[in-house]
Amino acid sequence: MSKPTSLFVIFFSLFVMSEAVFEDQVGKFDWRQQYVGKTLFAHFDSHSQSSKKLFLATDKNIFASFNSRTGDLFWRHVDKVGPEGTIDILLLHGQDALMVVGGGRLLRSWDTNMGGLNWEAVLDTGSFQAACFVAIQDTVKHVAVLKKAVISLHYLTNGHQKWVENLPDSDTVQYQAVYSGGEEEVYVLGVVPNSHLTIIAYSLEDGEIIKQRSVEAPWLSSVESSCVVIGQGVLMCVDPATLALYTLPIQAEEAPQFNQILLQVTPVQPRLESVVFPPQLYVHAFLKKDDSVGYRVLVQTQDHALTFIQQPGRVVWTREEALADVVTMEMVDLPLTGTQAELEGEFGKKADGLFPMVLKRLSSQVILLQVWLAHLWKLFYEARQPHGQVKNEVTIETLSRDEFNLQKMMVMVTASGKLFGIDSKSGSILWKHYLENVQPNAVFKLIVQRTTAHFPHPPQCTLLIKDKDTGLASLHVFNPIFGRKSHIAPPALPRPILQSLLLPVIDQDYAKVLLLVDDQYKVTAFPSTKNVLQQLQEMASSIFFYLIRSDQGNLSGFRLRKDLSTERIWEVVLPTEVQKIVAVNGKRPNEHVHSQGRVMGDRSVLYKYLNPNLLAVVTESTDAHPERAFVGVFLVDGVTGRIIHEAVQRKARGPVHFVHSENWVVYEYWNTKSRRNEFSVLELFEGTELYNSTVFSSLDRPHLPQVLQQTYIFPSPITTMEATLTEKGITSRHLLVGLPSGAILSLPKMFLDPRRPEVVTEHSREENLIPYAPEMPIRTEWFINYNQTVARVKGIYTAPSGLESTCLVVAYGLDIYQTRVYPSKQFDVLKDDYDYVLISSVLLALFFATMISKRLAQVKLLNRAWR
């Protein structure tokens, strides 16, 4: 039995394979952009004059090298997420870049040429304060690392520790800076806030304290924020309160004293805050060939853009590092071209008499002719150009929908509050808009209210920005194609907003209505014209919404009243001391399911339970003990609050990643008993009879669905998961799984099917069910991004295209990767490597062969007739 089964599996897998990209398809319809995040430290490579390297350490725990001429990435090292990988300091000396990582945990030295690691040394525990190179007569051989209570000296060549010393009085004095002036001493600066400054000099040889001095400084609270060492050991500090500048020679032998310089205050003078250069500005000054001073500046702006400026004020390049932290995104169809829109306009509107219609038709024909002529002229013009010079620049003006709607506008919202409009075909940024006054912890929700389908009304997107601290929300309404702010005034939202709800109701301008629920469960409609309010009143009894309060373990459902207030109709409480609600997911509103059931082996139908109001609620136990931890999946009807199904996975722990679509839920968790990742799939079926095939109402569903479940072992942890989406839902579904390695796996849903049989039967073979195997394979051909790994995949966005076979995929995280997937292969379009030349030449050859042989046959017949 087992042998035929395995043969069957192999045979089947041969069918499923061949998803991968061919070598010549690389980069044809996919692109990747790599980002590094907000810069913390930057250094110019001053090792040689002609060097064009630039070294950055960022808040995303990345150490990267850039080409300073173009802004391209040379190499990049992505460290662990969180405090374990934070870069505390980056120092550059010659070929070596020195880094303290993880709050003073590790000291690393990198080779700046190749980006390779020279050595790594583990430091003693203690929070990191400062580090500096220690030079003796301009030759740097050591590095000093200052921690809260300890100072240590390391060799630059191998990282070995030369000596380590405890700092005196480290519980009262805050040691915050270390300085070496090129002599045999290392100075440590500490401060007792608002009292005095302590300077300790250590011997370079053995770490003995040579000198220890104290300087009165009652105005000083922190060396780190208000002092800097300039020149040959001169400490310069600033006191913002009195607008005074203080200087102190560190190495001075005599009794030290701060020299106070009071600053002139004039109205034009900016407010003095810090003597330290703002960390957003990195200046590199150098001597030019004619001995004049040149400079280059790297500017980090508030919107996380990194701009490189050269001396005459010329911007050499700009990197939009805000895209390293995309929060949410949407894909919007591009508008039709002018001519297409013109034709749409002609046929889209009501007829207004015979003569105007004829005129309109004629004028549109003239426009078409004009466009065609312009196209011909362009072809002719481009043909005259040398081949390499022809550039297909995508600009916002030339943007138009292609034949199969494969090119779309990606609207991306980043954590910094900057919005981007990116062309999905080329990846070029077409517009950007920075929203000021966005709190760093704000929550965003992007809603497409009107697509491009309603010409001449412009498309409209609304971004809901909620401030986590105050709970107040604001709306930013904009045109997703051009990025311009819409002139439509969003409603004033005086109360904190809890959730929003996009209704399929449209106003007279074809904009979908957005309902905003405030903390008193009152509803605000946007747009709120009279027409909309009337429609809402009519439909109020069929509009429901649910709210989930994770902190209270509370799920509640509400119904809209005619006066736009609400009434609570159900409530489910999951005790928070046992489990907490982690995530909830309904179905995507633009998802279509073509087939209403599944055909069994005996040719009967198992109808799917396609409840559009079904919610998948995932909970995790508060008890983290491996024996008692569990993961719960509740399927709740969002209208009635009825729990359709609950699945509890014992000895399991999160993070749970899940996808809810059609009639299935797929979730992934960590099995604490077997210590492995597992995939589980739940499928809901109505049975062999449909209860009501014409309408679906949650209020009239007496029977619970049949639920099937199966679990598989997955050999890798995952970071995110999403399902493919196509226009009509005919194409089979795949799951797109983001792996920590940066690969994106396209896993056929067929492998996650609870009806996979353990014993192969005639019926199951008829159904094309793969026999159950507990291990889920990962095949490298299933990686849709071949070697273009996406670091730290945070989310995957899928959008249908105009072709049923094709689904557009955007994976975002640190990088952005865009591609297309064909879950059932390209069944509706010729492949892009289709051999047109061969086929047409064969056809032509056959045609001519037919003609010639016909003629020959005629001649022969005639000859025979004459014989």
CA–CA dist 512, 372 (Å, integer): 36
Q: Which of 393, 516, 509 minimizes the C-alpha distance to 454?
A: 509
Nearest approach in angstroms of CB 470 to another protein is 12
Residue 46 neighbours by CB distance under 10 Å? 13
Q: Which of 243, 309, 443, 647 binds another protein (CB under 8 A)?
A: 443
Our CB check for another protein shows the closer of 89 and 497 to be 497
SS3 531: helix
Q: Which of 40, 237, 497, 666 binds another protein (CB under 8 A)?
A: 497
Buried b / exposed e across 343-381, counting CB within 10 Å, b at 16+? Answer: beeeeeeeeeeeeeeeebeeebeeeeeeeeeeeeeeeee
Q: Which of 182, 294, 586, 626 binds another protein (CB under 8 A)?
A: 586
Stretch in the footprint of another protein (CB under 8 A) among 174-182, 271-279, 412-420, 581-589: 581-589
| 545 binds another protein, rule: CB under 8 A | yes
Those residues with Cβ within 8 angstroms of residue 259's Cβ, 6 or more apart along the chain or in another chain: 246, 247, 248
Return the residues of window 667-706 that contact another protein according to CB under 8 A: 688, 690, 692-699
β-sheet with 460-466: strand ranges across:
443-450, 460-466, 473-478
> CA 528, 533, 538 angle in degrees (round to 5)?
155
Our CB check for another protein shows the closer of 35 and 544 to be 544
Nearest approach in angstroms of CB 429 to another protein is 28
| 547 binds another protein, rule: CB under 8 A | yes
Nearest approach in angstroms of CB 698 to another protein is 6
Maximum pairwise Cα distance, the chain: 134
| 466 binds another protein, rule: CB under 8 A | yes
Our CB check for another protein shows the closer of 252 and 593 to be 593
Q: Which of 94, 612, 715, 740 binds another protein (CB under 8 A)?
A: 612
Our CB check for another protein shows the closer of 374 and 699 to be 699
| 603 binds another protein, rule: CB under 8 A | yes
Q: Which of 329, 504, 331 minimizes the C-alpha distance to 401?
A: 331
Residue 328 neighbours by CB distance under 10 Å? 17
Q: Which of 229, 169, 228, 179 minimizes the C-alpha distance to 204?
A: 179
Are 631 and 798 in contact by the 8 Å Cβ rule? The answer is no
Are 192 and 215 in contact by the 8 Å Cβ rule? The answer is no
Nearest approach in angstroms of CB 579 to another protein is 15
CA–CA dist 190, 210 (Å, integer): 16
Our CB check for another protein shows the closer of 97 and 583 to be 583
Our CB check for another protein shows the closer of 243 and 503 to be 503
Q: Which of 297, 503, 506, 829 binds another protein (CB under 8 A)?
A: 503
CA–CA dist 226, 235 (Å, integer): 10
- Give phi and psi for 368, each to the nearest 5: -60, -45
Our CB check for another protein shows the closer of 388 and 589 to be 589
Number of residues that bind another protein (CB under 8 A): 55
Our CB check for another protein shows the closer of 593 and 750 to be 593
Stretch in the footprint of another protein (CB under 8 A) among 195-203, 501-509, 674-682, 795-803: 501-509
Stretch in the footprint of another protein (CB under 8 A) among 3-11, 206-214, 261-269, 604-612: 604-612
Residue 52 neighbours by CB distance under 10 Å? 13
| 504 binds another protein, rule: CB under 8 A | yes
Nearest approach in angstroms of CB 859 to another protein is 19
Burial of 812 (0-12, 13-18, 19+ CB in 10 A): buried
Stretch in the footprint of another protein (CB under 8 A) among 140-148, 545-553, 649-657, 808-816: 545-553
| 549 binds another protein, rule: CB under 8 A | yes
Nearest approach in angstroms of CB 556 to another protein is 9
Nearest approach in angstroms of CB 615 to another protein is 9
Stretch in the footprint of another protein (CB under 8 A) among 498-506, 644-652, 707-715, 842-850: 498-506
| 638 binds another protein, rule: CB under 8 A | yes
Residue identified by tokens 């037919």 is 850
| 600 binds another protein, rule: CB under 8 A | yes
Our CB check for another protein shows the closer of 610 and 708 to be 610
Residue identified by tokens 């912890």 is 441
Structure-token pair, residue 373: 């002529």
| 499 binds another protein, rule: CB under 8 A | yes
Those residues with Cβ within 8 angstroms of residue 211's Cβ, 6 or more apart along the chain or in another chain: 199, 200, 201
Amino acid at 142: H
| 599 binds another protein, rule: CB under 8 A | yes
Are 184 and 205 in contact by the 8 Å Cβ rule? The answer is yes
Structure-token pair, residue 550: 């994770």
The footprint of another protein (CB under 8 A) covers 443, 445, 464, 466, 473, 497-505, 515, 517, 539, 542-550, 581, 583-584, 586, 592-593, 595-597, 599-600, 603-605, 610, 612-613, 638-639, 688, 690, 692-699
